[in-house]
């Protein structure tokens, strides 16, 4: 009979039942009845299993037919030798290592880190059948690099999850969806959707210790597409996400000057101001649209490269390459800075902005709940969608980070801590942002009122001779009251009906400035120009954005690089593979540095990271809970975390989370087809943004990213 090769020596051995000869047949029977486990064994592994079972049965019969050994003082030693022999016989299946065969993950018998339950271990109730994950023989001696310590992992995940979305998307959703009322659906969705999926990604990555592609391929070969989809989404998102980081670098470089370039309008050679800047809402708005990105008026009008942005893009990818070229050994050190520095800057801005006039107006607008909005489906859809961006779910970065953890690590506790930290960060950021928005809103509101007051001189010149006389007879508050209370019989009725009249609403003015890139590169830069010594605050602000962008890019690219490394699809060293990915991304990203680049960033943000992301997350839950099995996964977590997994997790995984994600996906698709997608285009003639529908050719590119 063929000899089953023995495994290499391992420093970590489970207690194997083998001291009693009569147990051999039970062992083989138990082994043959093994139907569950983390991985479905390939055909050659099944043959190996049957061969082992036959070997054990034959050995059992041979030993039972032999004469009983005479009592001897060396009997115990012989029993020990038998136990070691049995250990050798089962070693090949107990110690496996993932390898790739085409697109399918297999096992090499040269690794002590088993990805399946140990088949012949002795538990509290005797011999186990391999179904209980808390009896698994799992070690970390697989040659895979790991985090230096637990804090480095924590900082890495926080740095990855907390990004640009926490700075401008969350505050925008707050003001859009009823202020403080939005926190109710956001918290509910976080508990029943975000946190459970967070634990699935960390748990599955920590258990299998491989990248996003290898994880799903290991559960079932047909699920490999889930990992591939996650890698593609991560790659597409990294293309445009790094362009935002490019803009940050440009503004950071421009901040190193005694006078910020966006404070005043530039002048022509004859000393006069540029007309477009004068007619623009603010010099900061002109600087963004004309000096920084030099935007065109349509998405199809590329207009050539904006060269200073092209150089900044190359520089941004070079910085990222230096940080990821050696995996977590290089990026892990940087993450201490990218995770903590933004909090110091936010705290500095908090103390400064809370003292600004109008800060309380912004906070009041942020926290005042409009509970009637809770009946609108879009509010719940926005809350559920924001969870994906805020926690970094579905990209594969969390799986990649968790794969560098030791197997015996309480990932459940990690999930709860990091989810709470992410929530508090979003609220803290929104607090600071709305203080600044309140200040800018009050400033623009007063300016709006003064423009309306100047109408009195045109409409009713006999009432007042000049603005000083108006200000002496009526205050801004009184004037606002009369305008907002439409007295048709009063002298103010003519002003209200005048075509130049603009109704001034503080809430509307605040809400107009609370969305997207305009918040960071227009509104915040304008607010900073009102601070004492503006360059100092500008440098701090853009350094904070730089750290947020770098941290998120590390996690996004880690999912891509780890997957390619683990699958051995491209046989290159870590530095060369990182160089290939960064260089190719930089070349493709050149389209974002054209004059139409802003519109392409908007299109990628809307299509590349929305629908595909939700689809990936849905199939992740289905793969783990319904293909692998919820009970098996719970046992794995209990083994790794050394604590019980309650019914809350099982119910949300089995029913609530998949239903919610399916509803979100269907609702998002339905919403996109019932309304023609549009983008915000800048028109130089009016110096304002206008919504334009995407051209037909852009639809094919956009839907190709679904």
CATH code where residue 237 lies: 1.10.4160
Check pLDDT > 90 for residue 309: yes
Residues in the chain: 706
Please check whether residues 165 and 283 belong to one and the same domain: yes
Please check whether residues 507 and 517 belong to one and the same domain: no
Check pLDDT > 90 for residue 467: no
Instruction: Calculate ∠ Cα 382-367-529, nearest 5°.
Output: 95
Query: Could you tell me if 260 and 268 are in contact, meaning their C-beta atoms sit under 8 angstroms apart?
Result: no
DSSP 3-state of 285: helix
Q: Given this model, what pLDDT does residue 132 score?
A: 37
Report if residue 246 sits inside a domain.
yes
Residue 341 φ then ψ, to 5°: -60, -45
Task: Please indicate whether residue 700 or residue 39 has the higher confidence score (pLDDT).
Answer: 700
Domain end call among 108, 135, 162 = 135
pLDDT band at residue 135 using 50, 70 and 90 as cut-offs: very low
Task: Please indicate whether residue 115 or residue 190 has the higher confidence score (pLDDT).
Answer: 190
Minimum mean pLDDT range among 352-356, 409-413, 516-520, 657-661:
516-520
Report if residue 623 sits inside a domain.
yes
Query: Could you tell me if 185 and 65 are in contact, meaning their C-beta atoms sit under 8 angstroms apart?
Result: no
The tokens describing 298, both together, are 């349509």
Please check whether residues 697 and 578 belong to one and the same domain: yes
Q: What is the mean pLDDT of the chain?
A: 76
Please check whether residues 417 and 276 belong to one and the same domain: yes
Residue range of the domain that includes 42? 23-68+78-135
Minimum mean pLDDT range among 531-545, 559-573, 622-636:
559-573
The tokens describing 356, both together, are 């600004």
Check pLDDT > 80 for residue 692: yes
Check pLDDT > 70 for residue 489: no
Dihedral over Cα of 216, 222, 226, 231: its sign: positive
Residue 121 φ then ψ, to 5°: -105, 155
Please check whether residues 196 and 226 belong to one and the same domain: yes
Please check whether residues 35 and 176 belong to one and the same domain: no
Report if residue 17 sits inside a domain.
no
Q: Given this model, what pLDDT does residue 470 score?
A: 55
Check pLDDT > 50 for residue 241: yes
Report if residue 361 sits inside a domain.
yes
Please check whether residues 665 and 691 belong to one and the same domain: yes
548 annotated to bind ligand: yes
161 annotated to bind ligand: yes
Q: How far apart are CA 148 and CA 146, in angstroms?
A: 6
Minimum mean pLDDT range among 180-189, 353-362, 667-676:
667-676
Query: Could you tell me if 366 and 180 are in contact, meaning their C-beta atoms sit under 8 angstroms apart?
Result: yes
pLDDT band at residue 64 using 50, 70 and 90 as cut-offs: very low
Range 71-93 average pLDDT: 46
For the entire predicted model, the pTM comes to: 0.75
Please check whether residues 82 and 203 belong to one and the same domain: no
Please check whether residues 168 and 221 belong to one and the same domain: yes
Express each pLDDT in 449-458 by its tens digit: 777 667 666 6
Q: Given this model, what pLDDT does residue 553 score?
A: 93
Task: Please indicate whether residue 445 or residue 7 has the higher confidence score (pLDDT).
Answer: 445
Check pLDDT > 90 for residue 641: yes
pLDDT band at residue 619 using 50, 70 and 90 as cut-offs: very high
DSSP 3-state of 480: helix
Please check whether residues 351 and 462 belong to one and the same domain: no
Q: Given this model, what pLDDT does residue 511 score?
A: 65
pLDDT band at residue 191 using 50, 70 and 90 as cut-offs: very high
519 annotated to bind ligand: no
The residue to which tokens 């793969």 are assigned? 623
Task: Please indicate whether residue 427 or residue 677 has the higher confidence score (pLDDT).
Answer: 427
Express each pLDDT in 148-161 by its tens digit: 889 999 999 999 99
Report if residue 579 sits inside a domain.
yes
Minimum mean pLDDT range among 463-477, 508-522, 603-617, 678-692:
463-477
162 annotated to bind ligand: yes
Please check whether residues 241 and 388 belong to one and the same domain: yes
Report if residue 355 sits inside a domain.
yes
Express each pLDDT in 527-541 by its tens digit: 888 888 999 999 999
End-to-end CA distance of the chain: 55
Range 218-225 average pLDDT: 90
Q: Given this model, what pLDDT does residue 140 score?
A: 56
pLDDT band at residue 31 using 50, 70 and 90 as cut-offs: very low
Residue 105 φ then ψ, to 5°: -85, 135
Please check whether residues 504 and 586 belong to one and the same domain: no
Task: Please indicate whether residue 183 or residue 328 has the higher confidence score (pLDDT).
Answer: 183
DSSP result, 448-459: HHHHHHHHHHHH
Q: Given this model, what pLDDT does residue 159 score?
A: 92
Express each pLDDT in 250-261 by its tens digit: 999 999 998 899
Q: Give the count of domains, the chain.
A: 3
159 annotated to bind ligand: no
552 annotated to bind ligand: yes
Query: Could you tell me if 211 and 562 are in contact, meaning their C-beta atoms sit under 8 angstroms apart?
Result: yes
Query: Could you tell me if 157 and 398 are in contact, meaning their C-beta atoms sit under 8 angstroms apart?
Result: yes
pLDDT band at residue 643 using 50, 70 and 90 as cut-offs: very high
Range 695-705 average pLDDT: 82
Q: How far apart are CA 52 and CA 92, in angstroms?
A: 10
């Amino acid at each position: 009979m063929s000899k089953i090769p023995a495994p290499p020596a391992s420093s970590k051995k489970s207690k194997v039942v083998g001291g009693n000869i009569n147990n051999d047949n039970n062992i083989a029977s138990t082994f043959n009845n093994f139907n569950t486990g983390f991985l479905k064994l390939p055909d050659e592994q099944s043959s190996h299993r049957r061969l082992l079972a036959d070997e054990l049965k034959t050995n059992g019969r041979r030993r039972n037919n032999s004469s009983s050994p005479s009592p001897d003082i060396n009997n115990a030693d012989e029993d020990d030798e038998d136990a070691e022999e049995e250990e050798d016989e089962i070693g090949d299946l107990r110690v496996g290592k993932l390898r790739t065969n085409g697109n399918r993950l297999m096992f090499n018998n040269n690794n002590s880190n088993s990805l399946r339950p140990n088949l012949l271990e002795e538990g509290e109730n005797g011999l186990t059948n391999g179904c209980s994950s808390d009896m698994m023989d799992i070690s970390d001696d697989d040659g895979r690099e790991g985090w230096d310590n637990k804090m480095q992992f924590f900082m890495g995940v926080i740095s990855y999850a907390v990004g640009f979305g926490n700075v401008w998307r969350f505050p925008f959703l707050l003001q859009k969806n009823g202020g403080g009322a939005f926190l109710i659906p956001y918290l509910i969705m976080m508990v029943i959707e975000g946190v459970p999926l967070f634990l699935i990604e960390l748990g599955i990555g920590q258990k299998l210790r491989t990248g996003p592609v290898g994880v799903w391929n290991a559960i079932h070969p047909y699920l490999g597409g889930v990992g591939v989809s996650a890698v593609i989404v991560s790659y597409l998102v990294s293309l445009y996400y790094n362009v935002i980081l490019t803009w940050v670098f440009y503004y950071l470089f421009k901040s190193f000057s005694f006078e910020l370039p966006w404070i005043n309008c530039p002048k022509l050679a004859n000393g006069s101001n540029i007309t477009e800047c004068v007619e623009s809402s603010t010099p900061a708005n002109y600087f963004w649209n004309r000096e920084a990105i030099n935007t065109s008026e349509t998405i199809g009008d590329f207009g050539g490269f904006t060269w200073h942005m092209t150089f900044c893009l190359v520089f941004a990818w070079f910085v990222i390459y230096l940080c990821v070229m050696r995996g977590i050994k290089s990026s892990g050190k940087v993450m201490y800075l990218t995770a903590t520095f933004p909090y110091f800057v936010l705290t500095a801005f908090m103390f400064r902005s809370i003292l600004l006039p109008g800060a309380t107006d912004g906070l009041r607008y942020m926290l005042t709940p409009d509970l009637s909005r809770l009946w609108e489906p879009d509010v719940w859809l926005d809350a559920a969608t924001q969870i994906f961006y805020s926690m970094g779910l579905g990209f594969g970065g969390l799986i990649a980070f968790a794969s560098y953890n030791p197997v015996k690590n309480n990932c459940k506790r990690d999930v709860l801590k990091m989810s709470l930290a992410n929530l508090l960060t979003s609220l803290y950021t929104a607090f600071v942002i709305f203080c600044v928005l309140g200040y800018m809103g009050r400033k623009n509101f007063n300016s709006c009122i003064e423009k309306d007051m100047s109408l009195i001189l045109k409409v009713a010149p006999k009432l007042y001779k000049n603005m000083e006389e108006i200000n002496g007879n009526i205050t801004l508050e009184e004037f606002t009251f009369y305008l907002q209370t439409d007295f048709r019989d009063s002298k103010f009725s003519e002003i209200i009906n005048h075509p130049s009249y603009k109704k001034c609403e503080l809430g509307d003015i605040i809400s107009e400035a609370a969305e997207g890139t305009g918040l960071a590169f227009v509104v915040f830069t304008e607010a900073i120009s009102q601070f004492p010594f503006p360059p100092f605050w500008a440098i701090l602000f853009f350094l904070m954005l730089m750290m947020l962008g770098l941290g998120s890019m590390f996690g996004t690219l880690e999912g891509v690089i780890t997957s390619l490394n683990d699958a051995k699809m491209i046989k290159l060293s870590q530095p060369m593979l990182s160089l290939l990915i960064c260089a190719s991304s930089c070349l493709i990203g050149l389209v974002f540095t054209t004059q139409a680049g802003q519109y392409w960033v908007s299109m990628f943000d809307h299509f590349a990271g929305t629908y595909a992301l939700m689809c990936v997350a849905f199939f992740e839950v289905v793969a783990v809970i319904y293909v692998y099995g919820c009970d098996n996964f719970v046992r794995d977590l209990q083994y790794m975390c050394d604590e019980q997994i309650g019914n809350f997790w099982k119910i949300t995984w089995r029913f609530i989370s998949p239903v919610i994600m399916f509803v979100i996906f269907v609702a998002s698709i339905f919403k996109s087809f019932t309304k023609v997608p549009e983008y915000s285009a800048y028109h130089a003639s009016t110096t304002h943004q206008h919504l334009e529908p995407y051209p037909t050719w852009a639809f094919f590119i956009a839907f190709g990213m679904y």
